[in-house]
């Protein structure tokens, strides 16, 4: 959410932040209240829960740790707080008020979300995420332009990012030690993804990805991938079975 800010804007945001301390069990945000600040966790642990329509009991949603942000929805969309947040451990939070948020962050965050929300809603692998989770993915996307003939990923290198194809086409190439040649093992078009294996398995890139046209890619860095797409890990691992038929046979 803050990554597109210029240095000067970032300094205003940092200056505008105020440290607040919460004790275990303190409510930081109560569902349904008006909200005038978002919070960045500096230290501590908090839980987020929500009473869904038709229910009387709250459903646990997630735990927040250091470096995470919450309370952004009320500021972005001028809505009541969508969930409650309560401290588990004593926690130090940095709060950013609505005025500073509106002035500096809101416009670029909304622009980014508008740009990617429609695209992400069409990507099959992201279907099981809810709107909130998809919104968080939007905040982390960096748009990358690749020219025809460029390699986005090189087999054997370390992997630091995951990619979704916004526009264009590409192929995956894998080195076959038997023929001593690279062979085409996969084709990509709009709304498909690649680059997940190295991040899921902590292994070097298993293939190269070559752009066969000019491309626009949505790039998600390793940390954000682990944090935001963690719920998809099982589906991604299951989907990886489709590569098995292309495994290069071992030399006898």
Q: Report the interface residues with ligand CMP, using CB under 6 A.
A: 29, 35, 48, 50, 61-62, 70-74, 81-83, 85, 130, 132, 153, 159, 172, 174, 185-186, 194-198, 205-207, 209, 243, 246
Q: Where are the alpha helices (DSSP H) in the chain?
A: 7-16, 73-77, 98-100, 107-121, 131-140, 197-201, 222-228, 233-239
Q: Which is nearer to ligand CMP, 6 or 80 (CB)?
A: 80
Q: Which is nearer to ligand CMP, 7 or 239 (CB)?
A: 239
Both tokens of 196, joined, read 């997940």
Min separation Cβ 7 and ligand CMP, Å: 26
Q: Which is nearer to ligand CMP, 50 or 106 (CB)?
A: 50
Min separation Cβ 145 and ligand CMP, Å: 19
- Going by the DSSP 8-state scheme, the letter that residue 77 receives in this structure is H
Min separation Cβ 83 and ligand CMP, Å: 4
Q: Which is nearer to ligand CMP, 5 or 61 (CB)?
A: 61
Give DSSP secondary structure letters for 208-245.
EEEESS-EEEEEEEHHHHHHHSGGGHHHHHHHGGGGGG
Rounded Cα distance between 55 and 64, Å, is 24
Rounded Cα distance between 250 and 155, Å, is 17
Min separation Cβ 14 and ligand CMP, Å: 20
């Amino acid at each position: 959410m803050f990554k597109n800010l210029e240095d000067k804007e970032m300094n205003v945001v940092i200056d505008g932040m105020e440290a607040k301390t919460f004790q275990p069990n303190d409510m930081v945000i109560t569902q349904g209240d008006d909200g005038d600040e978002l919070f960045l966790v500096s230290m501590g642990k908090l839980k987020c829960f929500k009473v869904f329509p038709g229910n009387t009991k709250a459903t646990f949603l997630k735990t927040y740790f250091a470096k995470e942000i919450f309370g952004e929805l009320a500021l972005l969309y001028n809505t009541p707080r969508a969930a409650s947040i309560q401290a588990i451990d004593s926690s130090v939070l940095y709060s950013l008020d609505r005025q500073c948020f509106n002035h500096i962050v809101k416009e670029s965050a909304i622009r980014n979300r508008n740009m990617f929300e429609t695209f992400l809603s069409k990507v099959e692998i992201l279907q099981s995420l809810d709107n909130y989770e998809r919104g968080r993915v939007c905040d982390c996307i960096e748009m990358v332009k690749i020219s025809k003939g460029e390699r986005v990923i090189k087999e054997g290198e370390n992997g630091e990012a995951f990619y979704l194809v916004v526009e264009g086409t590409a192929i995956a190439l894998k080195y076959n030690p038997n023929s001593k040649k690279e062979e085409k093992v996969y084709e990509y078009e709009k709304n498909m993804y690649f680059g997940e294996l190295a991040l899921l398995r902590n292994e070097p890139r298993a293939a190269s990805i070559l752009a066969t046209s000019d491309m626009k890619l949505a790039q998600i860095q390793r940390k954000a991938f682990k944090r935001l797409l963690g719920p998809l890990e099982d589906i991604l691992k299951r989907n990886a079975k489709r590569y098995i038929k292309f495994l290069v046979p071992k030399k006898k």
